[in-house]
Each structure stands twice: as C-alpha cells, then as structure tokens.
Amino acid sequence: MNAPFVSPIKELLDDLHARLTDRRDGEVATYIPELGKADPEWLGLAVATLDGTLYEAGDTDVPFTIQSVSKPFVYALALQDRGLEDVLKCVGVEPTGDAFNAVRLEPVSGRPYNPMVNSGAIVTSTLVGGANQEERRGRILSGLSAFAGRALEVDGKVLSSESATGDRNRALAYLMHGAGVLTCPVEDALALYFEQCAALVTTRDLAVMTATLAGGGVNPLTGETVVSVEAAANALTVMATCGTYDYAGEWLVRAGLPAKSGVSGGLIAALPSQLGLGAFSPRLDARGNSVRAVAACEELSTRFGLHLMRPSERSGPVFHRTLRGDTAHSSRVRAHDERSALARLGGAIRVYVLRGDLAFGTAEAVVRTISEDTDSVRWVVLDLKRAGRVAPVAVTLLEGLAAKLKERGITTVIVDTEKRVAVRSAVIAETRDEAMELCEDALLAEAGAARPEVPIAEQDLLRGLDPFMVTALDAYLETREYETGERLVQDVAALCFILSGGLARQVIIGERAVRETSMGPGTAVGRLALIDDAGHSHRIVAEEPTACKVLTTQSLARLERDSPRLADALRWSIANAIAERLRRTDAENHALIH
C-alpha cells in the first residue's frame, strides 16, 4: 500500500516547527495578568491559500485571544463602513516606529499616528458602523468572525483582566478624548477595543483571516465578501508600514510582507493574491513580537520566495505565436482565385496569439510591439484565448491601441470567448478562426479579389477537365437554391458545387451545432463520398442564400453507366483536389508547429 501523500509544503512547515521548538528566548506577556497563563511552549504554524487549502503544523487549534492582530481587521471594517477619507480624519497612516502602547499623538490634531498602535486602534473600534454601542460591538465580533469563516467567541477572563489593568490604554483614550479625536465616552471606546482584543482565535483562524485580506476581502473558505478590495488593500498597506511597531522597518526588509503581531503571541503575514500566514507562540521579544512566530514567518518568506519587493517570476513572453494571413488561413474553404489572392496579399492580416496574465507590463509589450510593426498591415487579430487574467489597465491599453490602429485604417479584432474585454474600437470574435475569416473576407472584398459567383466552368474541382467534359458533366447537374439556415439533404446530392453564397459544415456536440468550417463559391461539398461512399458525418447548412449545382446519386449512377470515362475523370479531379488540400494542411500545420 502506498504511504499517504504528504504535501511538501506540510513537510516544510513540520520541519520548521521542529527546529523552532528549541528556541526558548523571550517572555510571555504578563501585563494583562490572564495572558501570563499561556503555555510558553505552544507553537502553531498555518498557511491558507486563496482557494481555501490549509497547511498546518503544531498547535494550530489552541485557542488564544487575538489581541493586536485584530487591529488590521477592525480597521478594514471601519474603512468598509466609513470610507478612507472619514477614517483618515480620525486616525493617520504614518508609521511611528514607536512601541505598541506609546503615549504619543500627532502634535496639533491629537490624532493617533496609525491604526496599528493602541491609540489608533481604540479610535478605529469606534468608527465601525452601528447606531449605538451594542450595534458596534456586534459589528466587530461578527466582522472578525466573517474574516475567520466561523463564529468567534470572546474570552471573558482575558477581557475583564485587561479592563481591570488597562490603565495605559485608559490614559491614551482620555488624552484623545481631551483632544476631541475620540468623541464617544472613553469607557465605551475601551470596552469595544478590549473586547475585540479578547476574541478567541486559533492559528488556523489567523491564516484564513489573513488569506481573506490577501484575496481582496473574500473569505477563501466561505466565499463571503467581507470587505471591499480597497478596504483590504488599505489594511494590508498599513500592516506593511506599521504592523510590527518599532520592528516594522527591519521586518519589511527581512520578510517583505505586510504583517501584524499581538501580545498573546500571534503573528500574521499576507502575500496579496496568494496566501495568508498565521503563526502563534507566546514568548515575546522586547518589542512585543512573538520570537518564534517572527522567525517562522521570516524563514517561510525566504524559503517560499514571498518577498514583495523582489521581482516575481516572469511568466515568459506574452506572445505565444504570431501569424500572417499569407501563410496561415482560416478554415474557410475558398476557391483557387481567393486562395492565391490571400497568398499574395494576406500579409496585411497579422494574428497575435497572447498568453499569460495581461497586466501593465505585458500589455505594454503588446501595445509597443504591435504599434511598431504596422507597415502594410490592415487587420490585427489579438487572440486572448490563452491569456489568463486581464487586468483593467490591460483593457485600457488595448482600447488605446485599437483606437490608434483605427486612425491608421487598421481594424482590430479581439478573440475573447469569455467576453472579458470590452474594447469599443475593436471587433470582438468568438474564435480565432472566425476572426481570421472575417479579416480575409474584408481583404478579398477590398482587393476586388472576392469571387461571389463562380460558374460551373470555373469551379476548382473541374479546372483540370477539358471544357467539353465540363459541358458534358453539366448536363447531369441540377440547380438548387438554399435559403439561409436551410440544411442540405446530402443523401440525395452526391456532389454539390457552390456557385454563390456559402455553406457551413457543422458538428453536433450534445444539443449544440458547432460550426466547423465554411465553404465559399467555387468549392464543392461531398467529394469524399464520391470516392469511398462512406456517407456524411457532418451537417451542411446554408449560411446565406446559396445557389449550387448538384450531382444527385441517381445522376451519378446514370453518369457511370453512360459515360464511364467522364466519371473516372471526375474521380481523378477529386483525388487531386484532396491531395492538394492535404499538402496545404500539412504546410500550414508545419508553419504552426515551427
């Protein structure tokens, strides 16, 4: 039996956990007496990804009070409820480099410097939405719970322990009340703040809460949108500059991640768009940060390559492939004249197949490369089918590109099946094939090379036949007209020459008819059936009013009887046409692969 699969990420966490248990420096906080009861040996490490996967090592389900780690979450709630401008009036966003409980406020305004130190957090608690104290209490606890993805409870003992001893915070609150920054009664503000600090969480909760911020406010477990993208981003920003107090600068250099610590030993760190880290161990360093949690996060950041300021791995070139309309074509089957016109003039069609995420850097490269190469170009197809995320800036830049190209008389066609890109100056197509066909049609029309009507004498299939043979064959053909959407009854028609209009070949997938290729005037349908008699595997439908000349199965039988030489010649023409077609397809496949 195979051993159960252990993720290498879990192994890494276990290894880190094992090594960190040897570190015994630091002291458990005792200024809130109840916190002194924590087991100094506890150590929990957890990583939550944005799709809700959790990796854990050690004591990740030991409950402890969240303390200052609550600050960025309550700040995000206040931003959500009040908006940045209103919140900024009461609490700044300037790093102080002060200790968490420093008694220092902005000189003139009396405003606290930032929401990550106690003074700022006390004011922030009063800014969350709610008509009265009770509603605000409810909002904070349910908001923290929404971040965690489960109902959190408050540790009554820690709460009363802090209320009874929190004179320093009381002093700060009075100072701010005196300065007019704190407008509600001091004890109300403290009650909210002490209660938020006494919310019970586990290390696992911390990872999930942080992943919620990293994911733009969406909880990865519940899918709930807890706060807006802006509120989450602003909270992370303040964490980056102020999250670890007077260690914030060195922390950012070493770990390179927005983070927040608390006196119970919790620490969170986030990598936007990727993950949330939670760590917990009660022994603190002189600045009030958990010794082992800081070491764990710093090492994880290094090992996982999470530092925000390092260049991220490049996803490779943004151009997956570049094609030209003279060597690559849509799947539309065209008459010889149209094909040779495309081979001559098709260079005016350029197809860019893009891949990877389109953000500023990649979209800039696309815009620059395409706009530097517009000589003799008239149609630009941008195929986004392989592109990943399309950032708003990429849409703006593509819009700008399409508008500029339009000024130069160049049409932009964007292939975007999922319709992510609304670019006004461009034509949007479902598939690359459709986009190329559209450009080819436009090119042929402009060049006067389109063949809307091809008489029987000029049909591709009959080009090699002597004129008298064509005339003889014509006597066996019947003229048929089809309306748009009308199906060809293929059992009756063994061979069908398109004189004008166009037919599409469809495959039926489930309930849906999917257009596979289309055929224009001068080409013929049913050629294979004449050789191997295997019948038709597709559905042929007129895409526009279409006139054909048809060799019915009865006429074919008659032809075989009356004029075996003519029937043979026709078969040879078909075999030649098929061989030529195969050779062309091979050449195009070759061009695609190499």
Residue 55 among the catalytic residues: no
263 in catalytic set: yes
Q: What is the pattern of x (binds ligand GLN, CB under 6 A) and - over residues 203-242? A: ----------------------------------------
Instruction: Check if 174 is active-site.
Output: no
149 phi and psi angles, rounded to 5 deg? 80, 15
Number of residues that bind ligand GLN (CB under 6 A): 11
Q: How many CB atoms are closer than 10 A to CB 266?
A: 28
Tally of CB atoms within 10 A around 321:
14
Do the Cβ atoms of 213 and 233 come closer than 8 Å? Answer: no
| Least distance (Å) between residue 262 CB and ligand GLN | 4
Residue 298 touching ligand GLN (CB under 6 A): no
Considering the complex, what minimum distance in angstroms separates the CB of residue 68 from ligand GLN? 3
Kindly give, in sequence order, each residue whose CB lies less than 8 Å from that of residue 551, ignoring residues fewer than 6 positions away: 473, 476, 477, 493, 494, 495, 496, 559
**Does residue 523 belong to the site contacting ligand GLN (CB under 6 A)?**
no
**What Cα–Cα distance (Å) separates residue 66 from each residue in 41, 73, 97, 165, 232?**
18, 11, 22, 18, 19
Smaller CB separation from ligand GLN, 292 or 505: 292
CA angle 209, 210, 212 (to 5 degrees): 65
Structure tokens at 373: 């190469």
Three-class SS of residue 324? strand
Which of these is catalytic: 28, 55, 68, 290?
68
Beta strands in 259-326 (DSSP E): 259-261, 266-271, 275-280, 283-284, 319-324
Q: Can you tell me the distance from the alpha carbon of 9 to that of 31, in angstroms, rounded to the nearest whole number?
A: 37
* From 75, 113, 193, 352, the catalytic residue: 193
Q: Which of 64, 73, 100, 476 binds ligand GLN (CB under 6 A)?
A: 100
Give me the residue label for tokens 């991640």.
Answer: 257
- Strands 64-65 and 493-500 turn out to be unpaired
Q: Is 263 in the site for ligand GLN (CB under 6 A)?
A: yes
Specify which residues 506 forms β-bridges with. Answer: 515, 539
Q: Confirm or reject binding of residue 101 to ligand GLN (CB under 6 A).
A: yes
The DSSP line for 337-351 is HHHHHHHHHGGGEEE
Q: Which residues are annotated as a binding site for substrate?
A: 68, 118, 162, 169, 193, 245, 263
How far apart CA 203 and CA 444 sit, in angstroms, is 66
Q: Is residue 244 near ligand GLN by the rule CB under 6 A? A: no
- Toward ligand GLN, which CB reaches closer, 289 or 362? 289
Task: Identify which of residues 101 and 518 has a Cβ nearer to ligand GLN in the complex.
Answer: 101
Nearest distance from residue 187's CB to ligand GLN, in Å? 15
**What is the H or E stretch that residue 550 is in?**
strand 546-552
Q: Per the annotation, where are the binding residues?
A: 68, 118, 162, 169, 193, 245, 263
- Give the residue at shortest CB distance from ligand GLN: 68
Question: Which of 115, 288 has the CB closer to ligand GLN?
Answer: 288
Which one from 75, 113, 245, 476 is the annotated catalytic residue? 245
| CB closer to ligand GLN, 95 vs 262 | 262
Instruction: Say whether residue 155 binds ligand GLN (CB under 6 A).
Output: no
- Other CB atoms within a 10 A radius of the CB of residue 385 amount to 15
For ligand GLN, the closer of residues 70 and 80 by Cβ is 70
Q: At 221, phi and psi to the nearest 5?
A: -90, -45
Of 28, 55, 67, 382, the one binding ligand GLN by CB under 6 A: 67
Catalytic residue among 74, 263, 454, 470: 263
Q: Does 120 bind ligand GLN (CB under 6 A)?
A: no
Q: Among 54, 128, 189, 197, which residue interacts with ligand GLN (rule: CB under 6 A)?
A: 197
289 lies in the binding site for ligand GLN (CB under 6 A): no
Site for ligand GLN contains 338 (CB under 6 A): no
Instruction: For residue 487, give the nearest of 503, 464, 467 by alpha carbon.
Output: 503
Pick from 114, 161, 169, 523: which binds ligand GLN (CB under 6 A)? 169
Choose between 188 and 441: whose C-beta lies nearer to ligand GLN.
Answer: 188
Minimum CB–partner distance for residue 111 and ligand GLN (Å)? 18
Supply 144's token pair. Answer: 């923290």
User: In terms of Cα–Cα distance, which of 526, 545, 540 is closest to 453?
Assistant: 545
| Residue 265 interacts with ligand GLN (CB under 6 A): yes or no | no
Q: Which of 17, 56, 68, 442 binds ligand GLN (CB under 6 A)?
A: 68
- The CA distance from 162 to 514, in Å, is 69
How is residue 427 written in tokens? 């034509």
Tell me the three-class secondary structure of 414-445, residue by residue. Answer: EECCCCCCCCCCCEEECCHHHHHHHHHHHHHH
Is 193 assigned a catalytic role?
yes
Q: Which is nearer to ligand GLN, 67 or 518 (CB)?
A: 67
Kindly state whether residue 114 participates in binding ligand GLN, applying the rule CB under 6 A: no
Determine, following the binding rule CB under 6 A, whether residue 162 of this chain makes contact with ligand GLN: yes
CA distance 551 to 554: 8
- Give me the residues that bind ligand GLN (CB under 6 A), please: 67-68, 100-101, 118, 162, 169, 197, 262-263, 288
Catalytic residues: 68, 71, 193, 245, 263
